[in-house]
Structure 1
Amino acid sequence: MVCYKDIEAKIADYLSDNYTSAVEIGIGRNPDVAAALKEKGVDVSAVDIRNIAEDYGIEFHCDDIYSPNLSLYVGREVIYSVRPGVEMVPSLISIADQTDSDLIVYHLGCEIYRDGGEIIDCGVILHKYR
């Protein structure tokens, strides 16, 4: 059985093996993937709709993905989100489309959006929507 922190490690391993720049959408109070990416040399930043009081040592910006500041995402090879609400996925896809970035999502439980995109099994199931 994969435990909670193993999930974040497997996501970070996959992303760092495939990308050199990334932005996490919806970091909330779980900086584990972004912190691991930074340790692995990935140029990573994070956004959330709420201002994060804690300093995770990762470049952070407040942004509303329903009316995004696209400059926060331009030039990033991948946009990723860990356990976003499924209602967020259309906006994530739109941001990825507008910035020509890949989009990788680790869903909560069995949630998927539409057909689930391309399935990536890296020890956990990721969905590549773009």
Structure 2
Amino acid sequence: MCRYKHIERSIGEYIAGRYRRAVEVGIGNNPEAARLIAARGALKICTDIRPGIRHDGLAVVTDDIFEPDLRLYAGADLIYAVRPGVEMVPPLIALAGRVDSDLLVYHLGCEIYEDGGEIVDCGPVHLHRYRRRSP
């Protein structure tokens, strides 16, 4: 378990150092990256499909990535997901396109979607950037 927290800290540090309004999709019971990003003032909200998820100090909203409420993501410069199911990646890409944000994904194991997008090295962790926002 300690190793996983190190991964999430690396993800959180990378995002907090480069983005100003990030949204985590599918936070579940794993708030480590979001907590770090929030502590640095760069987290907009977190979402999950399951209602009732709460993490102290984090705004968690119920939303379905397959039918997202675009108002939740408007103004985000980054949408990210930590270990989402691969079936979530196409709607994440579509959502990032609709709100014009970057999309970063940390995959479970060696799972990737299509060509894996652009590999982003953030230390001991590799993220997959599936979309870049407009300049």
TM range (shorter): over 0.9
The whole-number CA distance in structure 2 between the counterparts of 1:53 and 1:76 is: 21
Aligned length: 129
- State the TM-score, normalizing by the size of structure 2: 0.91
Matched, 1:110 2:118: no
Per the normalisation by structure 1, the TM-score is 0.95
Inter-partner Cα distance in structure 2 for 1:32 and 1:44: 15
Q: Does 1:63 align with 2:63?
A: yes
Question: Per-residue displacement from partner, 1:73-98 (whole Å, max 9, x unpaired)?
Answer: 01000000000000000000010000
Partner of 1:127: 128
1:129 aligned counterpart, secondary structure:
strand
Residue 58 of structure 1: how far off its partner (Å)? 1.0
User: Is the CA contact (8 Å cut-off) linking 1:37 and 1:44 kept in structure 2?
Assistant: no
Letter in 1 for 2:4: Y
1:30-109 map, 5 Å: 30-109=30-109
The 2-side partners of 1:52 and 1:72 are apart by 17
SS at the partner of 1:45? Answer: strand
Q: One-letter code of the match for 1:111? A: E
CA RMSD of aligned residues (A): 1.2
Amino acid at match of 1:107: H
The answer as to whether partners of 1:28 and 1:52 remain within 8 angstroms in 2 is: no
Structure 2, unaligned stretches of length 5 or more? none
Which consecutive aligned stretches of 4+ in structure 1 deviate over 2 angstroms post-superposition? 52-56
**Structure 1 pair 47–21 and aligned structure 2 pair: CA distance change class (3 A):** same
Question: Counterparts of 1:14 and 1:55 in 2: how far apart (Å)?
Answer: 21
The percent identity for this pair of structures is 53
